[in-house]
Structure 1
C-alpha cells in the first residue's frame, strides 16, 4: 500500500468516474454523500478543481464511532491529485466542494467507499464511513492541452480579475529549465504580445499559460518534448511571472488607429473623465515633463490629449502613440507637426461634474447651449472631429424630453436641430457623406424646406456621385431662393458630373452592344440611351439659365 495514502483509502475509484468528476457542480453531491460543515472558511471563495494537488487532514470513523484512520494522529497531512482516482470515489467528490480552511463532516455510503467487500479487517462489507476533513490548501494544476504534455502548476496567486487574450501585450519574466533543473535561459521583465510567436518554440506554451493568468501570478509548466525545445528530448520546465497587462486601445475620434493608447499602469476605480470635466494630466515628451490643467472637450489641448484623457482612470499611466501630426500639435508642450509622436501620460486627478442624469431640465438646456457654442468655436478653428464630438454630446442630453416644460422642450428641439445641421457640416468636412445625409434628413422630417439642410444633403449626394439626388435638392432650394449663389455653383458642378456619368454609361452600353449586334445598330442603341439619360440634365440646364 502507498505510504502517502491513508489506510484503506487507496485502490478504489479511477478512470471509471472521471466523467462524473467533470460533470458535477461543486456543491452537487450525490445522495450517497452527506455533507455537514463544522467550521466554514473565513474568507476564501475558491474551490479546487480536478487535477489540483490538495492537502488535507482527516479522521475516519465507522458509524458506531470507532476510528479506523487519522492523519492527525500521524501529524502528517495527506496530499493527492483531486479527481485522479488516487483515493476513494467519495473523497474525490467531497473535497472538490470545500474551500481552503473549511472543516466538514462527510457521511459516505458504501457505493462511494469500499462497496460490498469492504476493506477487512478495519472496514466491514457494505460499510458507511464518516470522515472529518480539513482542507489545508492546494496547488492549482492545469493540463494545458489535454494530453499531459504541458502541466501548469500555480506557484503564486495573482490579483484582480483581468487575464490577457490573443493580441494583448504583457510584461513578463520567463525562465527555461532543462529536465535536470539547470537554467537554459532567463528573461526578466520583457514585453511580449500573445500569439506573436516571438518566443519561438516556447510561444505555444507561453500563450496557453498566460491566457488564464492574473497580474502578479507565477506559474511553472512542466513540458514534454512536443512542447519544449527540440534540443532537449527529455523536455523541461518553463517558469512564467506575469508582471503587467498592457491594455492597447484606439482612442482616436475616427477610430482609425491613428491614436493608440497603451496602458502601462492601471488606474483607480472604474470612472474616467467626461466632457466638460476639469482634469490634471502629466505629459512626458521629448525629454520634457509638464502637468496640464484643462477642461475636457474644450479644445484647450491638442486632439491627441483630448481623445486619450477620456479613456483614462485616475492614477493611470499610459504610452500614447500619435501617427497623425496635426492631432498632436501642442504649443504648451512645444510640439509642432512632425512624424510619429510618442508621449507618456499620467492622469493625476479630475474634478467630477454632475452626470447627465443628475441635471435638471433647466441645467440640461444650459449645458446643451454651452457645449454647442464650444463645438461651434472648435469648428471655426478647423478642429472638426473634436467639434463633432461636442455636437454628439449635446444630442445625447436630449434623448428624452417628453417630460420637459413646453418652453424647455422648444429650446431642446431647437438645439437638436442646430446640432444636426452642424453635425452634417462636420461630416461633409470629413467626407462622411452618408452620415451627413442622415443628419439632414433628421431636420427635413420636421422642416421640409430648411434650405441649409437641403443644401448640405445636396452636397452629400454630390460626394456620393448621386447627381440626380443632388440636382433635385438644388432645384428646390432655387425655387425657395432663386438668387442663392452657392446653390447655382453646385448645380453646375452636378450637371458636369451627371454628363460625365452619362458618357460612361454610353461607352459601356456601346461596348456591350458591339458584342451582340452590328456596329451600326450598336451606335444607334447607344445614341438612344444617351438621349434618354441626358434629358434631365438638359432640362435642368435650361432652368438654371
Structure 2
C-alpha cells in the first residue's frame, strides 16, 4: 500500500466516531463501525478483485495516507496477502457502497516492529474505508488451471448444469502476447457434453448465468481440445503458455435426458407453469408436429383451438414422445429428439432419429383413489380390469400387470 507524506489528522477517531455502534470481527480485536450502509446483501470472497477508497491513521495520531486525496481508488485481490491481514478481514465484511471505520490491532497490522517512520511499533491503525466495487474471481479447477473473473453479472440464478444443455455464447481467445487466436462475435451454439474450442469453455459456462460476461485465464493444459475440426485448439499453443478468453453466455436451452440413456432427449423451448406434470393415466391435451431429419413432416396433431387429447402411457402415440410429455408442465414447449429404439417400425433407418415439436396445452390427472367414493372405486376397478384384460390378450403382460395392480390398490 503506497504511503503519502504525513498530514495533520482533522479529529481524533475516538471523538469523531464515538457515537457509532461498534461490532467486533473475529477474536483478535478487529472492530468495525458502519458510517453508511451498503446497497446489497453480497460481500466479496477470497480472490475477488476489490476497489476501495480509504484513509488511514495511527490511533490518536496523524492522518498519513488517503486515496481520496490522491483522486484514485485502491485495488487488490482479497485474501492474497497483498495488504495487512486486518484490512483483508475487514473488507471481506463490506457490501457495495458501504463505508465503515475499522480499528485494526497491532497483531493484524504491522505488529511489534511497526513500519517506521510513519507507523511506530505496536501501533493500532484506524481505517476509513468505502467499498466501491469488486470483480469476482473463481478458481474453477482448484489448481489454478481456469481462473474466472465476472465482468458483468447475469440474470436470475439458474446456470446450465446439465451436460446435454445447449448454449449460445460469444467469445474471444487471445494468446499471452495479445494475438487473437479465435473469436465468434456472432455467437456459436453447442451442447456442453460435445464441447467447443476447448474444455475450459464448457467448464466455465456451467458456472454462468444468462447474459453474464466473464474473463478466463486458462493454462494451456485446459486449453487443448479433445474434439476435432476447425474448432480445435492444439499444438499451435506454445507449451506452458496461457490463454485469455472473454466469454458471454447469450442464452441456453435446458436439455433433459428423459430415458437416461440419451435415446429420448427433450430440449425446452418455453418453460411451463407450476410444478405439476402428467402421469400414467392422465388426460393430456397437446399439439405436436413430427419431422424426419430432413425436415419433412410425417405427422401433425392438434391445434391451440382444438388440442389433440390422449391418455398418457396407453400406446396412443409414440412411446418416446409419450414419456417426454410426462416430464412437461402446462404451457411448456419443447423439441423432443427420439432415437430409432422408440420409432415406429419401418418409418426411418435404424441410425436415424425423429424430431417432435410439442406443446402441452393442459392435462387432467386421474382422481386419486383416496378421494373417490365407493361407487367411483368400483367403476375404476372395473375399468382397470378391462384395460388389463385387453393388454394381456395383446401379449403385453407387463403393462397388463400394472393395470391389475392399480385395480388391487383401489379395492
TM-score w.r.t. structure 2 length? 0.72
Q: Does 2:193 correspond to 1:186?
A: no
Aligned twin of 1:267: 271
Secondary structure of 1:440's aligned partner: helix
Q: Does 2:334 correspond to 1:318?
A: yes
| Cα contact 1:326–1:337 (8 A) shared by 2 | no
Secondary structure of 1:293's aligned partner: coil
Assess, with a 3 A threshold, how the Cα gap between structure 1 residues 159 and 319 changes in structure 2: closer, same or farther.
Answer: same
Greater share of strand: 2
Question: Mapping of 1:215-364 within 5 angstroms?
Answer: 215-228=210-223, 229-233=234-238, 234-250=241-257, 259-263=264-268, 265-267=269-271, 270-271=274-275, 286=295, 291-294=303-306, 297-298=309-310, 311-312=327-328, 317-323=333-339, 340-345=353-358
Aligned twin of 1:463: none
Aligned twin of 2:143: 147
| Cα contact 1:59–1:70 (8 A) shared by 2 | yes
Q: Does 2:169 correspond to 1:172?
A: yes
| Cα contact 1:57–1:135 (8 A) shared by 2 | yes
Secondary structure of 2:304's aligned partner: strand
Structure 1 stretches lacking a partner, 5+ long: 9-26, 329-335, 354-370, 372-392, 402-407, 448-545
Secondary structure of 2:112's aligned partner: coil
| Cα contact 1:276–1:296 (8 A) shared by 2 | no
Assess, with a 3 A threshold, how the Cα gap between structure 1 residues 268 and 54 changes in structure 2: closer, same or farther.
Answer: farther
Q: Does 2:42 correspond to 1:38?
A: no
Q: Does 2:370 correspond to 1:400?
A: yes
Cα deviation, residue 113, structure 1: 1.2
Aligned twin of 1:196: 194
Q: Does 2:158 correspond to 1:159?
A: no
Q: Give me the whole-angstrom Cα distance separating, in 1, the residues matched to 2:407 and 2:42.
A: 57
Aligned twin of 1:207: 202
1:465-493 per-residue CA deviation (whole Å, 9 max, x = no partner) reads: xxxxxxxxxxxxxxxxxxxxxxxxxxxxx
Q: Give me the whole-angstrom Cα distance separating, in 1, the residues matched to 2:308 and 2:31.
A: 61
Aligned twin of 2:16: none
Cα deviation, residue 138, structure 1: 1.0
Assess, with a 3 A threshold, how the Cα gap between structure 1 residues 71 and 422 changes in structure 2: closer, same or farther.
Answer: farther
Secondary structure of 2:52's aligned partner: strand
Q: Give me the whole-angstrom Cα distance separating, in 2, the residues matched to 1:429 and 1:160.
A: 53
Cα deviation, residue 296, structure 1: 7.2
Q: Give me the whole-angstrom Cα distance separating, in 2, the residues matched to 1:438 and 1:306.
A: 17
| Cα contact 1:278–1:296 (8 A) shared by 2 | yes
| Cα contact 1:398–1:412 (8 A) shared by 2 | no
Cα deviation, residue 196, structure 1: 3.1
| Cα contact 1:283–1:343 (8 A) shared by 2 | yes
Cα deviation, residue 433, structure 1: 4.1
| Cα contact 1:107–1:128 (8 A) shared by 2 | yes
- The root-mean-square deviation of aligned C-alpha atoms, in Å, is 4.1
Greater share of helix: 1
Aligned twin of 2:14: none
Structure 2 stretches lacking a partner, 5+ long: 7-23, 224-233
Secondary structure of 1:400's aligned partner: helix
Assess, with a 3 A threshold, how the Cα gap between structure 1 residues 421 and 277 changes in structure 2: closer, same or farther.
Answer: closer
User: Which of the residues 96, 104, 128 maps onto 1:108?
Assistant: 104
Aligned twin of 2:377: 413
Secondary structure of 2:174's aligned partner: strand
Q: Give me the whole-angstrom Cα distance separating, in 1, the residues matched to 2:132 and 2:187.
A: 33
Secondary structure of 2:373's aligned partner: helix
Cα deviation, residue 35, structure 1: 2.4
Question: Mapping of 1:86-97 within 5 angstroms?
Answer: 86-97=82-93
Assess, with a 3 A threshold, how the Cα gap between structure 1 residues 60 and 256 changes in structure 2: closer, same or farther.
Answer: closer
Assess, with a 3 A threshold, how the Cα gap between structure 1 residues 312 and 134 changes in structure 2: closer, same or farther.
Answer: farther
Aligned twin of 2:21: none
**Higher relative CO (CA 8 A, sep ≥ 6), structure 1 or 2?**
2
Cα deviation, residue 92, structure 1: 1.1
Larger Rg computed on CA atoms: 1
Q: Give me the whole-angstrom Cα distance separating, in 2, the residues matched to 1:423 and 1:236.
A: 63
Q: Give me the whole-angstrom Cα distance separating, in 1, the residues matched to 2:406 and 2:273.
A: 39
Assess, with a 3 A threshold, how the Cα gap between structure 1 residues 277 and 130 changes in structure 2: closer, same or farther.
Answer: farther
Q: Give me the whole-angstrom Cα distance separating, in 1, the residues matched to 2:96 and 2:136.
A: 12
Q: Give me the whole-angstrom Cα distance separating, in 1, the residues matched to 2:381 and 2:390.
A: 14
TM-score w.r.t. structure 1 length? 0.56
